[in-house]
Amino acid sequence: QSVLTQSPSASGTPGQRVTISCSGSNSNIETYIVNWYQQLPGTAPKLLIYSNNKRPSGVPDRFSGSKSGTSASLAISGLQSEDEADYFCAAWDDSLNGPVFGGGTKLTVL
């Protein structure tokens, strides 16, 4: 059972906008920044969003992050087939005294 809660799956058609949510508590998301990682099939995770809403160099502006209270969201606009991947949120947690991850959301592009 992950400390941060994500829906196991999400889907959309090419060109659509999809949102992936991440729910936590006042000991993690509400207090600390949220990061998002993308894991393409059979590969290592890749940093997608850091510090709630910042994109590393090379990440398309189709990807955006936001945070409000104890929840965070990752939005993907102009969905493309290559966006099919697992997406994980992460944040520091006071109770565990370390970074924690969500269980991951598998995004399918129909």
Partner 1 sequence: QVQLVQSGAEVKKPGASVKVSCKASGYTFSDYGISWVRQAPGQGLEWMGWISPYKGNPKYALELQGRVTMTMDTSTSTAYMELRSLKSDDTAVYYCARTIFGVVIGANWFDPWGQGTLVTVSS
Q: Which is nearer to partner 1, 14 or 96 (CB)?
A: 96
From candidates 12, 21, 30, 47, binder to partner 1 by CB under 8 A = 47
Instruction: Classify burial at 42, counting beta carbons within 10 Å of its beta carbon; exposed 0-12, middle 13-18, buried 19 or more.
Output: exposed
Distance CA 13, CA 33 (A): 30
63 binds partner 1 (CB under 8 A): no
The count of chain residues that interact with partner 1, using the rule CB under 8 A, is 26
2 near partner 1, rule: CB under 8 A: yes
Is residue 45 part of the contact set for partner 1 (CB under 8 A)? Answer: yes
By CB under 8 A, is residue 100 in contact with partner 1? yes
Min dist. Cβ of residue 21 to partner 1 (A): 16
Beta strands in 18-97 (DSSP E): 18-23, 34-39, 46-49, 63-68, 71-76, 85-93
Cβ burial 2-11 (10 Å sphere, 16+ → b, else e): ebbebeeebe
Residue 29 as a binder of partner 1 (CB under 8 A): the answer is: no
Query: Site residues (CB under 8 A) for partner 1?
Result: 2, 31-33, 35, 37, 44-47, 50-51, 56, 88, 90-92, 96-104
